[in-house]
């Protein structure tokens, strides 16, 4: 497949040579001259047929208030399409073919120019179909001609997240506020009652989300072997679920830090309501500003290190090591990617633009190597990829159930961003593009006697 085919197949459109562009562009520009409604509909139908005739299932398409069409190999056999796409105007389909930025297609959904009806997960798999699509050069040029005649318009980037380049304290604070300070009430609609915003732990897949999140909190506490009276630190404590569970069930003195003012306010309310004010504290603090060298027995970081920035990981792990007592335990729970150079992937551009403006992922092996270079001994590594895929499906279902209530707290665009982001992430965990691991490490520097205190098997981790 040549470069033009590759760009078309990936949804970026084909790269035109200057000669091809002159041949396809009508005099006066792309949008020159009025076009009749029948001509637009005819061009749109021909374009859709060329794009989706080889789709293995059945998908529905309709343009504005115009007629609907079924496309795909199963269009004549299935009573209902796998999903349907409703396009407000022909520009949306045009972007799919010739737009340089595939995120403009996501923009159309967020702005209401594109509606997805039916199975959202099936609709998102359309990306894989387009990625594998191959067309002869003659058909490709015909496709481009039809698409270009549908007109052109500029993209509006007003939904984009704040730009993060160096992961400074100010940038990280702005990025966390963009994601987490949306609305506590919004998150409460689709999270479990404890509001745990990270991968759950399904001891059985039929568990409820609430049961699986409680199991995850307990799993972390058991791995860390929390003991009564120990000092425990949670970096990126969210709404306080882990520090509260650790104090309530394991008798530790727990401290949590977050960069979200809304998370902090609700966490403090919940701690007070639970009567845990004497054993649990939380504060608004950047991990780099944490004080108390060698003062914590155990440290956890759950779903936070993805915000640190790859070049800052040595500093991050060194800081955690400095906070731990000799032989203290650290559990890092975070997302990884299956390839280096994740920042160039389409999923990375989407997440950084709309969801996590500071998110950066790396290979598991690179994360472990960085930890080891900062004097951590790796004790245990557990992959939870299937658990996160199922967690995300629970979240998507919960969000969809509470659509009307969500719009009392966020805009329709924000609702759509979260819905698409979580559904797409579930598929990436299912295919293995994304992974998630709990890495348990011990701070080096202990004497030989500390070795005898370690469990000889993994049985201590399980009830």
Residue 28 confidence class, pLDDT cut points 50, 70, 90: very low
| In 24-133, beta strands by DSSP E | 59-63, 68-71, 83-87, 114-118
Distance of CA 317 to the CA centre of its chain: 23
Helices (H), 224-345: 241-250, 261-273, 313-323
Q: pTM here?
A: 0.83
Rounded distance between C-alpha atoms, residue 421 and residue 426, angstroms: 9
Domain residue spans in the chain? 3-148, 169-461
Rounded distance between C-alpha atoms, residue 250 and residue 399, angstroms: 33
Residue 164 confidence class, pLDDT cut points 50, 70, 90: low
Q: State the fold for domain 3-148.
A: Nonspecific Lipid-transfer Protein; Chain A (3.30.1050)
Which DSSP symbol is given to 312?
Answer: G
Positive or negative, the CA dihedral 126, 62, 395, 342 is positive
Rounded distance between C-alpha atoms, residue 384 and residue 225, angstroms: 20
Rounded (5°) CA angle 103-106-108: 115
What whole-number percentage of the chain has pLDDT above 90?
55
Q: Is the pLDDT higher at 432 or at 340?
A: 432
Mean pLDDT of the chain, nearest integer: 82
| Contact criterion met (CB below 8 Å) for 87 and 113 | yes
pLDDT tens, position by position, 117-150: 999 999 998 877 877 777 666 666 666 666 666 5
Report, as an integer, the average pLDDT of 267-275.
98
Tokens 């318009």 locate to: 153
Class of domain 169-461: alpha beta
Same-fold call for 3-148 versus 169-461: no
Residue 445 confidence class, pLDDT cut points 50, 70, 90: confident
**Residue 101 is encoded by which pair of tokens?**
């930025």
Helices (H), 149-280: 169-180, 184-190, 209-223, 241-250, 261-273
What backbone phi and psi angles, to 5 degrees, belong to 401? -65, -30
> CA torsion angle for 302, 346, 118, 186 (degrees, to 10)?
40
Helices (H), 257-384: 261-273, 313-323, 346-354, 364-373
Q: Is the pLDDT of residue 241 over 60?
A: yes
Positive or negative, the CA dihedral 51, 53, 56, 59 is positive
What is the predicted pLDDT for the residue at 194? 97
Rounded distance between C-alpha atoms, residue 146 and residue 453, angstroms: 72
Rounded distance between C-alpha atoms, residue 461 and residue 463, angstroms: 7
What whole-number percentage of the chain has pLDDT above 70?
76
pLDDT tens, position by position, 380-436: 999 999 999 999 999 999 999 999 999 999 889 889 989 999 999 999 999 999 999
Residue 126: its H or E element = helix 126-132
Which DSSP symbol is given to 65?
Answer: T
Q: Is the pLDDT higher at 20 or at 353?
A: 353
What is the predicted pLDDT for the residue at 297? 97
Q: Is the pLDDT of residue 342 over 80?
A: no
**Residue 31 is encoded by which pair of tokens?**
């949008």
pLDDT tens, position by position, 165-216: 566 777 666 655 555 557 899 999 999 999 999 999 999 999 999 999 999 9
Rounded distance between C-alpha atoms, residue 422 and residue 427, angstroms: 9
Residue 17 confidence class, pLDDT cut points 50, 70, 90: very low
* 83-87 and 59-63 strand pairing: parallel
pLDDT tens, position by position, 297-335: 999 999 999 989 899 999 999 999 999 999 999 999 999
């Amino acid at each position: 497949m040549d470069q033009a085919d590759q760009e078309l197949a990936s949804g970026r459109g084909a790269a035109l040579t200057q000669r091809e562009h002159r041949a396809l562009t009508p005099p006066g520009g792309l949008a020159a001259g009025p076009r009749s409604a029948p001509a637009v509909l005819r061009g749109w139908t021909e374009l859709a047929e060329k794009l989706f005739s080889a789709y293995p299932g059945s998908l529905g398409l309709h343009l504005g208030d115009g007629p609907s069409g079924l496309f795909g190999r199963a269009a004549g056999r299935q009573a209902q399409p796998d999903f349907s796409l409703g396009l407000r105007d022909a520009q949306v389909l045009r972007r799919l073919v010739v737009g340089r930025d595939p995120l403009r297609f996501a923009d159309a959904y967020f702005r209401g120019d594109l509606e997805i009806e039916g199975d959202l997960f099936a609709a998102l798999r359309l990306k894989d179909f387009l990625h594998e699509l191959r067309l002869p050069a003659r058909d490709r040029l015909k496709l481009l001609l039809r698409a270009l005649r549908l007109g052109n318009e500029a993209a509006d980037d007003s939904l984009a997240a704040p730009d993060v380049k160096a992961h400074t304290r100010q940038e990280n604070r702005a990025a966390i506020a963009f994601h987490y300070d949306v609305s506590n009430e919004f998150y409460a609609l689709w999270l479990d009652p404890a509001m745990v915003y990270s991968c759950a732990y399904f001891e059985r897949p039929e568990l409820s989300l609430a049961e699986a999140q409680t199991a995850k909190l307990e799993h972390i506490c058991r791995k860390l072997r929390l003991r009564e009276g120990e000092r425990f630190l949670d970096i990126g404590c969210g709404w306080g679920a882990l520090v509260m569970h650790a104090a309530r069930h394991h008798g530790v003195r727990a401290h949590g830090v977050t960069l979200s003012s809304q998370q902090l306010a609700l966490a403090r309310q919940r701690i007070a309501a639970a009567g845990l004010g004497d054993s649990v504290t939380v504060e608004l603090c950047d991990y780099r500003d944490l004080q108390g060298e060698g003062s914590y027995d155990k440290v956890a970081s759950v779903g936070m290190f993805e915000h640190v920035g790859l070049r800052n990981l040595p500093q991050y792990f060194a800081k955690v090591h400095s906070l731990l007592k000799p032989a203290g335990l650290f559990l890092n729970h975070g997302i990884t990617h299956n390839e280096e150079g994740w920042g160039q992937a389409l999923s990375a551009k989407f997440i950084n633009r709309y969801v996590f403006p500071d998110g950066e992922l790396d290979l598991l092996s690179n994360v472990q190597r960085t930890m080891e270079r900062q004097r951590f001994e790796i004790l245990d590594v557990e992959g939870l990829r299937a658990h996160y895929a199922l967690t995300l499906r629970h979240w998507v279902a919960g969000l969809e159930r509470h659509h009307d209530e969500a719009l009392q707290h966020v805009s329709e665009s924000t609702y759509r961003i979260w819905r698409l982001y979580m559904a797409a992430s579930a598929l990436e965990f299912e295919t293995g593009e994304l992974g998630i691991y709990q890495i348990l490490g011990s701070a080096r520097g202990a004497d030989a006697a500390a070795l005898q205190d370690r469990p000889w098997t993994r049985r201590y981790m399980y009830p």
